[in-house]
């Protein structure tokens, strides 16, 4: 047995004390419980939002290096330092972030922002960072912006020294950086800087590059400058942009003349995409018969764009001529961009004329070729109705179920649900159970969950990459409901396979706003609350201050004269159209009024809400329809027909998402 003398015992005890003391410091300074880290971050972020950046900087520094919030804290420290003008500290924190946490999503932005700050003080290091970004993340917005800064740094190297000679090869390199930026981001935040710098360093710019600059300035709304630059372009290539710019500057007559000349002389020099845009502008500006315009353009335009003009001729034709036109279009371009539309119109004509045999052949042909196209739900639904007419029970039941399965959020899924349940009324239920918008995914990332609880939405948006649903959620949390809904809607439309109806992303596409007032006044007037909610969604995207180009105002887009008339009829007293509650009240009374004049029919009332009661009354007398579905498909005003489908599509999705129908 080894025995320690007193001296050795003292040394051992002292050593252990030092170890424990150092460990205590380590534990207290470096390790924190997750709850403590979140508490510090919350206090720091509160100071940051309130403008106390110095204290926020200090508090963020107290987040332990072992906390998963440390990268976000470093980023916030850098931002706080930058706001108060301490660029050196900001760069150090950015550098610490992307060097210590290179795989963290904030790392890329940190490197970009460090490069921005260093552009003037240490351009060589800044350029190194920008080149790394372009190499490591070439498809990001940061890489596009880095192109500009690389060009700027190279340009400054020769232009900031009066004695320096700017070699032609280097000037070409700068131009190439600038050219790449404008091609990839014509509406980018730095586009005007790119153009100004480019014009300053070179007086021998090519016509193509002038056109590139002019196109960017047009997208940015710099219309007088567009006119200046177009003077240096090749007219054969720039005539469309010239016409567009003339139009927005109030010279529609001259714009029309430019378009007419361009269609006759310069079609081969422009892209098909630009040509279609020019054709649409031509139709917008010309007051002549749309059908005649399409016929005249069909003579002038051959090859590129001809199928689009042919589709317009079909669109503006009527009766037998319309059907024949679509048949000719499909035969001429069976694999073209407009073939699916042509075939669906041919199919629908056979349906309306009760030619079931030919309708079934064309419908099956369409579904074999174009099952993923826009009109596929319509074709499939009507194939079900044909089977129902022929009393093929198993066939039509199967088709309707397939419509709901394959196109669950569509207007035709809604109509299929009604057919499956043998329901004639378009109102499935008057009630929904509203639920709040939530983060659109189950939290798998603990850091994101923490940041959500801390309400640091900016960083969540940054680390989410290009996930549009998260961007939508962030906008929603920031109170931008309209923009949030539009982004979510577009993101959902882009999905090939739609998620389950209980998926939280649906709530972003169909949020419930102002429902307390909507239900109150819908119940008071005998309307369906979910249907009124759907009208508000489609009319204004829940923007209570919405103003249309024709003068309609507020959530339910009421014309001032209409609002005054209904307020007088119903003795509603004082109102404000841009007040949400007041607008909802007037909208409900107006809807109930027009519905009462149309035998209490909701489909007719929805059509009247958009197209006017006089038009609907006229259509009901003149159209040869057999039921509601047939009537909707034959509404002559495309805008009104689409409006009816959109409102009932929203209605269907509200009851589907919040009640579980379908």
Q: What is the DSSP string of 170-208?
A: HHHHHHHHHHHHHHH-TT-TTHHHHHHHHHHH-S---HH
Residue 482 lies in a domain: yes
How confident is the model over 644-658, as pLDDT tens digits? 999 999 999 999 999
Q: Hey, is 553 helix, strand or coil?
A: strand
Residue 186 lies in a domain: no
Residue 611 shares a structural domain with residue 653? yes
Residue 598 shares a structural domain with residue 621? yes
Residue 543 shares a structural domain with residue 485? no
Average pLDDT over residues 326-348: 96
Active site residues: 539
Residue 19 clears pLDDT 50, i.e. is over it: no
Average pLDDT over residues 268-272: 91
| % of residues, the chain, pLDDT over 90 | 87
**pLDDT category of residue 303 using cuts at 50, 70 and 90:** confident
**pLDDT category of residue 530 using cuts at 50, 70 and 90:** very high
What is the model's pLDDT at position 12? 52
Name the residue with tokens 């027909």: 641
Residue 539 shares a structural domain with residue 478? no
Structural contact between residues 117 and 87, judged by C-beta atoms closer than 8 angstroms: yes
What is the model's pLDDT at position 166? 86
What is the model's pLDDT at position 67? 94
How confident is the model over 127-137, as pLDDT tens digits? 999 999 999 99
Q: Which two tokens stand for residue 441?
A: 């995914």
What is the model's pLDDT at position 266? 82
Residue 502 shares a structural domain with residue 521? no
Name the residue with tokens 């340009």: 155
Residue 502 shares a structural domain with residue 535? no
Residue 651 shares a structural domain with residue 550? yes
Task: Report the number of distinct structural domains present in the chain.
Answer: 3
d(CA 268, CA 270): 6
**138-152, 379-393, 398-412, 445-459: which range is least confident on average?**
445-459
**Beta-bridge mates of residue 547:** 553
Give the domain-ending residue among 458, 493, 509. Answer: 509
How confident is the model over 175-218, as pLDDT tens digits? 999 999 999 999 999 999 999 999 998 778 999 999 999 999 99
What is the model's pLDDT at position 443? 76
CA nearest neighbour of 592 among 523, 490, 497: 523
Residue 469 shares a structural domain with residue 594? no
Residue 154 clears pLDDT 70, i.e. is over it: yes
Residue 2 clears pLDDT 50, i.e. is over it: no
Residue 462 lies in a domain: yes
**pLDDT category of residue 83 using cuts at 50, 70 and 90:** very high
Residue 259 clears pLDDT 90, i.e. is over it: yes
What is the model's pLDDT at position 163? 75
What is the model's pLDDT at position 662? 75
Residue 367 clears pLDDT 50, i.e. is over it: yes
Structural contact between residues 55 and 77, judged by C-beta atoms closer than 8 angstroms: no
Residue 48 lies in a domain: no
Domain range for 485: 446-509
Give the domain-ending residue among 469, 492, 509. Answer: 509
Average pLDDT over residues 149-175: 90
Residue 504 shares a structural domain with residue 485? yes
How confident is the model over 447-494, as pLDDT tens digits? 888 999 999 999 998 888 889 999 999 999 999 999 999 999 999 999
Residue 437 lies in a domain: no
Residue 522 lies in a domain: yes
Task: Check residues 463 and 92 and name the one with the higher pLDDT.
Answer: 92
CATH number at residue 597: 1.10.530.10
Element (H, E) at 248: helix 235-248
Chain centre to alpha carbon of residue 265 = 37
d(CA 222, CA 215): 10
Q: Hey, is 547 helix, strand or coil?
A: strand
Structural contact between residues 332 and 310, judged by C-beta atoms closer than 8 angstroms: yes
Mean pLDDT score of the chain: 93
What is the model's pLDDT at position 13? 56
**pLDDT category of residue 9 using cuts at 50, 70 and 90:** low
Burial of 409 (0-12, 13-18, 19+ CB in 10 A): buried
d(CA 200, CA 152): 12
What is the model's pLDDT at position 11? 57
Phi, psi of 573 (to 5 degrees): 75, -155
Angle, helices 393-406 vs 411-420, to 10°: value is: 150
How confident is the model over 589-644, as pLDDT tens digits? 999 999 999 999 999 999 999 999 999 999 999 999 999 999 999 999 999 999 99
CA nearest neighbour of 62 among 94, 30, 14, 110: 30
Residue 52 lies in a domain: no
Structural contact between residues 106 and 463, judged by C-beta atoms closer than 8 angstroms: yes
Average pLDDT over residues 502-514: 97
**pLDDT category of residue 162 using cuts at 50, 70 and 90:** confident
Residue 22 clears pLDDT 80, i.e. is over it: no
Residue 591 shares a structural domain with residue 560? yes
Task: Check residues 446 and 100 and name the one with the higher pLDDT.
Answer: 100
What is the model's pLDDT at position 7? 58
What is the model's pLDDT at position 549? 87
Burial of 45 (0-12, 13-18, 19+ CB in 10 A): buried
How confident is the model over 393-412, as pLDDT tens digits? 999 999 999 999 999 999 99
Residue 15 clears pLDDT 70, i.e. is over it: no
Task: Check residues 466 and 317 and name the one with the higher pLDDT.
Answer: 317
Structural contact between residues 240 and 282, judged by C-beta atoms closer than 8 angstroms: no
Residue 23 lies in a domain: yes
* Exposure class string for 579-612: b at 16+ Cβ within 10 A, else e: ebbbbbbbbbbbbbbbbeebeebbbbbbbbbbbe
Residue 655 shares a structural domain with residue 523? yes
Residue 526 shares a structural domain with residue 596? yes
């Amino acid at each position: 047995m080894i025995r320690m003398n007193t001296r050795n015992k003292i040394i051992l005890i002292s050593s252990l004390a030092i170890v424990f003391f150092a460990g205590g410091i380590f534990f207290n300074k470096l390790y924190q419980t997750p709850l403590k880290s979140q508490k510090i971050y919350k206090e720091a972020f509160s100071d940051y939002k309130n403008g106390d950046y110095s204290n926020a900087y200090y508090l963020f520094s107290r987040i332990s290096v072992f906390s998963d919030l440390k990268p976000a804290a470093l980023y916030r420290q850098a931002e706080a330092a930058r706001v108060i003008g301490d660029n050196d500290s900001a760069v150090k924190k950015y550098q610490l972030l992307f060097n210590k946490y290179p795989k963290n999503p904030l790392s890329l932005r940190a490197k970009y922002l460090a490069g921005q700050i260093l552009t003037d003080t240490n351009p060589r290091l800044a350029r190194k960072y920008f080149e790394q970004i372009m190499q490591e993340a070439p498809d990001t917005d940061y890489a596009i912006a880095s192109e500009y800064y690389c060009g700027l740094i190279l340009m400054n190297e020769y232009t900031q020294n009066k004695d320096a000679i700017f070699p032609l090869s280097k000037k070409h390199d700068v131009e190439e950086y600038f050219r790449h930026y404008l091609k990839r981001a014509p509406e980018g935040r730095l586009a005007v800087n790119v153009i100004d710098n480019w014009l300053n360093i070179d007086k021998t710019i090519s016509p193509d590059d002038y056109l590139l600059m002019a196109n960017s300035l047009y997208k940015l709304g710099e219309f007088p400058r567009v006119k200046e630059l177009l003077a240096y372009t090749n007219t054969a290539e720039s005539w469309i942009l010239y016409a567009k710019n003339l139009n927005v500057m109030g010279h529609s007559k001259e714009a029309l003349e430019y378009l007419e000349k361009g269609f006759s002389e310069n079609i081969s020099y422009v892209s098909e995409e630009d040509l279609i845009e020019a054709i649409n502008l031509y139709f917008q500006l010309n007051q002549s018969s749309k059908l005649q315009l399409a016929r005249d353009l069909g003579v002038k335009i051959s090859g590129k764009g001809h199928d689009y003009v042919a589709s317009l001729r079909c669109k503006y034709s009527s009766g037998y001529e319309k059907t024949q036109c679509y048949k000719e279009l499909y035969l001429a371009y069976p694999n073209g961009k407009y073939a699916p539309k042509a075939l669906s119109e041919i199919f629908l004509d056979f349906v309306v004329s009760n030619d079931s045999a030919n309708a079934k052949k064309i419908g099956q042909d369409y579904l074999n070729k174009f099952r993923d196209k826009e009109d596929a739900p319509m074709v499939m639904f009507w194939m079900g109705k044909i089977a129902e007419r022929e009393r093929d029970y198993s066939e039509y039941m199967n088709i309707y179920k397939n419509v709901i399965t394959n196109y669950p959020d569509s207007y035709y899924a809604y109509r299929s649900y009604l057919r499956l349940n043998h329901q004639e009324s378009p109102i499935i239920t008057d009630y929904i159970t509203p639920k709040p918008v939530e983060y659109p995914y189950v939290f798998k990332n603990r850091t994101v969950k923490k940041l959500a609880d801390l309400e640091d939405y900016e960083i969540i948006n940054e680390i989410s990459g290009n996930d549009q649903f998260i961007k939508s959620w962030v906008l929603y949390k920031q109170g931008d409901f309209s923009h949030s809904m539009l982004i979510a809607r577009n993101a959902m439309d882009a999905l090939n396979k739609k998620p389950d109806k209980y998926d939280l992303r649906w709530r972003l596409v169909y949020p419930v706003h102002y429902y307390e007032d909507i239900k109150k006044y819908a119940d008071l007037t005998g309307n369906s609350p979910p249907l009124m909610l759907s009208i508000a969604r489609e009319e204004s995207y829940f923007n209570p201050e919405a103003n249309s180009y024709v003068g309609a105002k507020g959530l339910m887009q009421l014309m001032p004269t209409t609002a005054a008339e209904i307020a007088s009829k119903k003795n509603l007293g004082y109102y404000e159209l841009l007040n949400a509650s007041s607008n909802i009240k007037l909208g409900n009374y107006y809807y109930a009024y027009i519905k009462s004049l149309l035998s209490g029919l909701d489909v007719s009332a929805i059509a009247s809400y958009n197209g006017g009661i006089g038009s609907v009354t006229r259509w009901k007398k003149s159209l040869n329809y057999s039921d509601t579905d047939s009537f909707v498909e034959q509404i002559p005003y495309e805008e009104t027909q689409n409006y009816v489908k959109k409102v009932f599509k929203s209605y269907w999705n509200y009851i589907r998402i919040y009640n579980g129908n379908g």
